[in-house]
A and B are shown apart, each in its own frame.
Chain A
Amino acid sequence: MKRFWIALIAMSFIGVTMIAQVSIGTDSAKDKETLEIAKKEFKDLLQYGHIEMASQWMAPTYIQHNPNVPGSRDGFIENFGPRMHPEPIKEEWKRPPTLVIVSGPYVLLMTDQKAKDPADPNKQYTRDHFDMVRVGDGKIQEHWDEADKIPHGPGR
């Protein structure tokens, strides 16, 4: 309990790090369908390990903006395929996003992520990780996240 109050007080001073799970723009059938396609990549492929679904849900001309993952759909398959351990797909996320926003072809997924505190490597803090896709013709056409080739550090 004491920890809870310390955390609450800390959050009030050092920004707020967590929110409840929120979905925005998922009311219409079209929006739901767009979100479902995004979930094929981020839930079924990447969380439940079903890389064989990549060609069904990712466009052959898939544009990758993460500079650390090889470009194109084939590059994605080659990069993630060997690391996958397929499990039965469930309806729920294994690591649910805290914020989902759908607008037209775009789906933004924001996920709480633990990172090592640079001030004290024994501690962790919560930050926000983002993935965004553009969906078109029933497949994922383009992907962005905040991945960078240079490690995040001073002035970065």
Chain B
Amino acid sequence: MKLSKFSLIAGALTLAAFAAIPLPAADDDPTHPATKVQTSDAMTGAEKKEVRTAEDFWREVIQAHHVDLAKKYLTADFAEHNPNMESGLVNFQKAMGTQPPKAIAKTLDPAPVVSFARGDYVVLVWQHQDKEPKDPSKMYYWNSFDVLKMQNGKIVEHWDSDYKNPPQAGK
């Protein structure tokens, strides 16, 4: 479940239903363990603040769908590299506004398994789990990435590990 991803939040309502189903931990393959939640011990106070801002954006806007709050975090002309999304605050709000807002949780759910900032850049690594294609009784873990460039406390650029969706994906 890629709940962290801009594009899927924007489009894949089918996954929202799937997300409500609790999944067993993907501990069936001890050679590919879950990531222990971790962060860099080398961050300055300003870099820690950038991580908090990025996580607040995720919690309020991405996870709780409060697109009205997006202007707190995104510059009007922020650059978007996700191949399914367009640059700019207005386009972001349009794409993300398809889902109704819900109560903003106090903590991120899910939270990134690795998070850190260096300079203007924030890195968030997410963990997902899915059924083994060859044996649906087993689960496995995989990861996705988001990188945010921040200036003056706002996001000016975003990259992620998403692929371009086929036409009509998420319908």
Interface residues of A (CB under 8 A from B): 12-17, 24-25, 63-67, 70-72, 75, 99, 101-106, 108, 110, 115, 117-119, 125-130, 132, 134, 142, 144-150, 152-156
Q: Is the CB of B116 within 8 A of A150?
A: no
- Whether A104 lies near B165 (C-beta < 8 A) is no
Complex contact A24–B130 (CB within 8 A): no
User: Closest residue of chain A to B131, judged by CB?
Assistant: A150
User: A148's closest neighbor in chain B, by CB?
Assistant: B142
**Structural contact, A63 and B33, CB atoms closer than 8 A:** yes
B40:A12 contact, CB within 8 angstroms:
no
B164 touches which one: A70, A127, A150 (CB < 8 A)? A127
Contacts A104-B42, A154-B166, A155-B8 given; does A99 touch B159 at CB 8 Å: yes
Bound CA–CA A2/B2 (angstroms): 38
Q: Is the Cβ of B114 less than 8 Å from the Cβ of A99?
A: no
The answer on a CB contact under 8 Å between B147 and A70 is no
Cβ B145 vs Cβ A146 within 8 A: yes
CB neighbours of A72 from chain B (8 A): 31
> In the complex, what distance in Å separates the CA atom of A67 from the CA atom of B32?
7
Q: Which of B53-61, B82-90, B102-110 contacts A (4 or more CB under 8 A)?
A: B82-90
Judging by beta carbons under 8 Å apart, are A130 and B145 in contact?
A: yes
Report yes or no: B80 in contact with A16, Cβ–Cβ below 8 A: yes
List residues 108-163 of chain B with CB under 8 A from any CB of chain A: 114, 116-121, 123, 125, 130, 132-133, 140-145, 147, 157, 159-163
Asked if B20 lies at the interface with its beta carbon under 8 angstroms from chain A, I say no
Contacts known (A104-B42, A128-B81); A118 close to B140, Cβ less than 8 A: no
Residues of B within 8 Å of A99, CB to CB, are 121, 147, 159
Q: Which residues of chain A are within 8 angstroms of B32 by Cβ–Cβ distance? A: 64-67, 71
Q: Does residue B25 face the partner (Cβ distance < 8 Å to A)?
A: no
Known: A14-B83, A66-B32; 16 extra A-B contacts, CB below 8 A, are A13-B86, A16-B157, A63-B33, A71-B32, A72-B31, A103-B123, A104-B40, A106-B116, A127-B161, A128-B159, A128-B160, A129-B161, A130-B145, A146-B161, A149-B130, A149-B142
